[in-house]
Amino acid sequence: QQPVQSPQAVILREGEDAVINCSSSKALYSVHWYRQKHGEAPVFLMILLKGGEQKGHEKISASFNEKKQQSSLYLTASQLSYSGTYFCGTGATNDYKLSFGAGTTVTVRA
């Protein structure tokens, strides 16, 4: 079952903040975040693991609430380059394939 992402779309001006949420009905082991620009492949942003470990290499932060099976991605002081569709991929405790949400389209305007 796919995780649910919200909102579906958000429009920002440069420098503004946004939060993208991802929730699952399954007990999660990990949450992965990707960004996809139009016509390109999804690019890895961050992985959050059960127990609190977090791996990422961009200036975008995220949180993982294991009890609620929810994750949030925080876009802080957004830049034009942040535009794209953000997907969360969830890895369930008893099913280690990634299931991807429908995506959140972020548009950052000058």
Partner 1 sequence: DAGVIQSPRHEVTEMGQEVTLRCKPISGHDYLFWYRQTMMRGLELLIYFNNNVPIDDSGMPEDRFSAKMPNASFSTLKIQPSEPRDSAVYFCASSAGLAGLTDTQYFGPGTRLTVL
Give yes or no for a contact between 72 and 20, defined as CB atoms under 8 angstroms apart: yes
CB of 12 to partner 1, least distance (A): 23
95 touches partner 1 by CB under 8 A: yes
End-to-end C-alpha distance for the chain, whole angstroms: 37
84 touches partner 1 by CB under 8 A: no
Q: Is the peptide bond before 3 cis (omega within 30 degrees of 0)?
A: no
Structure tokens at 62: 């995220």
4 touches partner 1 by CB under 8 A: no
Closer CB to partner 1, residue 5 or residue 78? Answer: 5
2 touches partner 1 by CB under 8 A: yes
Gap between the Cα atoms of 27 and 108, Å rounded: 33
Closer CB to partner 1, residue 16 or residue 63? Answer: 63
88 touches partner 1 by CB under 8 A: no
3-state secondary structure (DSSP) of residue 81: helix
66 touches partner 1 by CB under 8 A: no
- Hunting for tokens 């693991």 — which residue is that? 49
Residues at the contact surface with partner 1, assessed by CB under 8 A: 2, 29-30, 32, 34, 40-44, 47, 49, 55, 87, 89, 91-92, 95-103
